[in-house]
Amino acid sequence: MFIEFPLGNPINLSDDKAERNDPGKSEDWGDNRTIHASYIEWLVTNKQAKEHLTHRGIRIQGARIVGSIDLEHTSSACPLELRMCVLTESLVLRHARLKSVNLQGSHINRIEAEDVTIDGNLLFGDGFRCEGEVSLKYGTIAGVLNCESGEFHNPHGNAISADGMNVKGGVFLQEGFKAEGEVRLLGATIGGSLECGGGEFHNPDGFALDADGVNVRGDVFLRDNFKAEGWVSFPGVHIEGWLIWTGVRDRSGTVMDLRGARVVRLWDSVDSWPDAGNLHLQGFCYGEIDDDAPQDAKERIRWLRLQPSGQFFPQPYEQLANVLRKKGYEKAAKEVQIAKNVDRRRRGSMPLLLRPFHCLFGFLTGYGYRPWRPLAAALLLIGVGWGLFHAGAREGIIMKVGTERFATVGEQNGDFVQPSFHPLLYSFDIFLPVITFEQAKNWAPNENAIGRLVGDIPISGLVLCSYTSFLNLAGWILTTLFVATLTGTIRRRM
């Protein structure tokens, strides 16, 4: 049958009946469908045999290949295609260089391809199944790595190890892709996109997908029924396109780690966010948020609060506020900054003694982002004073300051009429620390006087004296806060 190779024809040993091609029953295929691994090694490595291969290379379908195919340090300019085959042991491509490798639909126990160079595509899809580790560490693939509809089973170890791998095209772990065990892409470089839409990653006790430090020059897709059990980790990743994180089918137990990651555009959805405590965003930088992603400040703040409790990092809040501000959502950006200060107190390590003052400061000024709050509080206090001082003057509690005695409002001393008392101006005069209306200098409550505020409610000079002192202190505090908030001094320090 090997006479077909010099003719450029494939060897197809599949049975005409589809049910007899089940890889799980390959032991029943018979000798006429069995090839020893050494034959394939000979075709690739023997100088005379290689001379008889055409540009179409070695193409075998539906065979049971017995033994381990060892092509370590081998160089071949011809493609290797073993489709719908069963390899009873391993395929060793360590330090080898091949034109392309197509194992679509095949079943194998293990692939050892560290530092392999593939000048074309590497295909592990269309029903491919591996029962051990597929190692592609520091390999170079000039085309694409396609694992669509492939299954990788190594539940107690790494399903795929691709640390330092360099793929010029895209990496496709999508649409029927299944991995039991860790999928590692640490420090990998992907020239196209990383597509995981519809893929399933199962490693509940560890990393389901670990892409620490990966460099993706296209987009990253975690969408369309993407499923993960375990950590989905992208710390330190650099994505020159989009991070699309939508349509996650099962997020229970999933931990999303984006610490130190950098992407151009983020497109996510609320129903794909992990549970509270399972999101890590420290150092995550993104240039913008897609229009179809949540833009509302309330939703985005809830997203930030999915980070683990008991720790606080300001950077995720600053990052979100900057992005929203660039999109013209100034109000939403301020809400995020306010939430940052609230969470600093609630989730950070702020001393207990400082928390009440921090809370009061937030209430009064919105941590510097609501400058009209101190003014509103001032007007309220002045208005209360207006009412109290008006009643005090009516009841004879507010009196003219004299050298020997108090003179009540409206009292005449011969032909001389006492200066007029204005309760509103008096309230302003007490409150404002610098401006004067000559009211506080000429009038004051008599501590010993008693009258009625409204109906049967009593009012005394002692109460008015106390409120005067309180209003004066509040004036200094609120005026200072208003000026500092209006000029942005407080915001720069928060």
pLDDT digits 0-9 by tens, 251-307: 777 899 999 999 999 999 999 999 999 999 999 999 999 999 999 999 999 999 999
Decide which of 119, 141, 160 is a domain's last residue. Answer: 119
pTM to 2 decimals?
Answer: 0.78
Asked if the structure places residue 404 within a domain, the reply is yes
pLDDT value of position 370: 80
Spatial distance between the Cα atoms of 329 and 233, rounded to a whole number of angstroms: 30
Instruction: Compute the radius of gyration of the chain from its Cα atoms.
Output: 38
- The pair of structure tokens assigned to 23 is 């890889």
Asked if the structure places residue 289 within a domain, the reply is no
Asked if the structure places residue 294 within a domain, the reply is no
107 pairs with which residues across the strands? 86, 129
Spatial distance between the Cα atoms of 211 and 162, rounded to a whole number of angstroms: 10
- Over the stretch 78-116, which tens digit does the pLDDT of each residue have? 899 999 999 999 999 999 999 999 999 999 999 999 999
- Over the stretch 471-493, which tens digit does the pLDDT of each residue have? 999 888 888 888 777 776 655 45
Lowest mean pLDDT among 106-110, 176-180, 278-282, 458-462: 458-462
pLDDT value of position 416: 38
Asked if the structure places residue 30 within a domain, the reply is yes
Containing 205, the helix (H) or strand (E) segment is strand 200-210
289 pairs with which residues across the strands? 266
Spatial distance between the Cα atoms of 130 and 84, rounded to a whole number of angstroms: 13
Query: By residue range, what is the domain housing residue 35?
Result: 1-119
CB atoms within 10 A of CB 253: 15
Decide which of 68, 85, 119 is a domain's last residue. Answer: 119
Q: Residue 83: which of 53, 67, 100, 60 has the closest Cα?
A: 60
pLDDT category of residue 414 using cuts at 50, 70 and 90 = very low
- Give me the number of domains the chain comprises: 2
Q: Where are the beta strands (DSSP E) in 236-318?
A: 238-245, 248-250, 255-257, 262-268, 279-280, 285-289
Model confidence at 26: pLDDT above 90? no
Asked if the structure places residue 395 within a domain, the reply is yes
Spatial distance between the Cα atoms of 93 and 51, rounded to a whole number of angstroms: 21
Mean pLDDT across the chain: 89
Please give the average per-residue pLDDT across 239-259, as a whole number: 88
Model confidence at 164: pLDDT above 60? yes
337 pairs with which residues across the strands? none
pLDDT category of residue 402 using cuts at 50, 70 and 90 = low
pLDDT category of residue 201 using cuts at 50, 70 and 90 = very high
Model confidence at 407: pLDDT above 80? no
pLDDT value of position 4: 57
Cβ 140 vs Cβ 113: under 8 Å: no
Asked if the structure places residue 197 within a domain, the reply is no
Lowest mean pLDDT among 271-280, 313-322, 384-393, 417-426: 417-426
Model confidence at 419: pLDDT above 60? no
Torsion sign over Cα 79, 84, 87, 90: positive
In 3-state terms the chain splits into helix, strand, coil percentages (rounded to 5) of 30, 30, 40
Q: For the chain, what percent of residues have pLDDT higher than 70?
A: 93
Model confidence at 412: pLDDT above 50? no
Containing 109, the helix (H) or strand (E) segment is strand 107-112
Decide which of 119, 154, 180 is a domain's last residue. Answer: 119
Asked if the structure places residue 182 within a domain, the reply is no
Cβ 150 vs Cβ 175: under 8 Å: no
Cβ 270 vs Cβ 293: under 8 Å: no
pLDDT value of position 452: 87
Lowest mean pLDDT among 144-158, 199-213, 430-444: 430-444
pLDDT category of residue 350 using cuts at 50, 70 and 90 = confident
Asked if the structure places residue 10 within a domain, the reply is yes
Model confidence at 163: pLDDT above 50? yes
- b/e for 289-303, b at 16 or more Cβ within 10 A? bbeebbeebeebbeb
pLDDT value of position 285: 96
Going by C-beta distance under 8 Å and a sequence separation of 6 or more, which residues neighbour residue 260? 235, 236, 237, 282, 283, 284
Spatial distance between the Cα atoms of 436 and 383, rounded to a whole number of angstroms: 17
Spatial distance between the Cα atoms of 407 and 347, rounded to a whole number of angstroms: 58
Containing 343, the helix (H) or strand (E) segment is helix 330-347
